[in-house]
């Protein structure tokens, strides 16, 4: 219970700091992140066609990371780096064990995950903005 409370507090501080840096007025900070990615649930990627992503590296060395975001299979997915260059994206099916997870309600529509690599995320820092574009097939 204490870990969850600490996670929520850290999430609130981090999200508010980022919103302040980007000069955004965000009334509901849960619309700003995807706290249930472990169950492949993300309202941001299910309900929006264009998103801006920033990837944070909590390690003390630079690294490249695979990003996995749940999306609807009825959407095409394109990702562009901060310079506008396309990043290769693959979609993979979400495993049945995850789709049938009791915490996933019937209202969750994501049935695949978009997977792409973000390279060169600086130590204890974040990437510049990456654009995620979701279009109809």
Give pLDDT tens digits for 43-87: 888 887 888 888 888 899 999 999 999 998 888 899 998 888 999
Within 8 A by CB and 6+ apart from 81, the residues are 87, 128, 130
Residue 62: CB atoms within 10 Å: 13
Q: Give the H/E segment covering residue 52.
A: strand 50-53
Task: Check: CB of residue 133 under 8 Å from CB of residue 80.
Answer: yes
What topology is assigned to 39-136 in CATH?
Immunoglobulin-like (2.60.40)
Average pLDDT, the chain: 81
pTM metric for this prediction: 0.75
Give pLDDT tens digits for 95-107: 888 888 887 777 7
Distance CA 126, CA 1 (A): 29
Domain extents in the chain: 1-33, 39-136
């Amino acid at each position: 219970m204490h870990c969850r409370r600490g996670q929520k507090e850290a999430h609130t501080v981090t999200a508010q700091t980022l919103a302040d840096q980007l000069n955004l007025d965000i009334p509901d900070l849960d619309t700003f992140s995807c706290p249930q990615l472990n169950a492949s649930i993300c309202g941001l990627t299910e309900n929006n066609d264009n998103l801006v992503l920033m990837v944070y590296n909590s390690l003390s060395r630079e690294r490249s990371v695979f990003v996995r975001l749940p999306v609807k299979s009825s959407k095409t997915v394109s990702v562009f780096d901060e310079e506008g260059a396309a990043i290769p994206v693959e979609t993979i099916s979400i495993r049945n064990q995850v789709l049938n997870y009791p915490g996933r309600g019937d209202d969750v529509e994501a049935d695949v995950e978009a997977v792409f690599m973000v390279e060169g995320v600086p130590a204890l820092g974040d990437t510049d903005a990456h654009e995620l574009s979701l279009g109809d097939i």
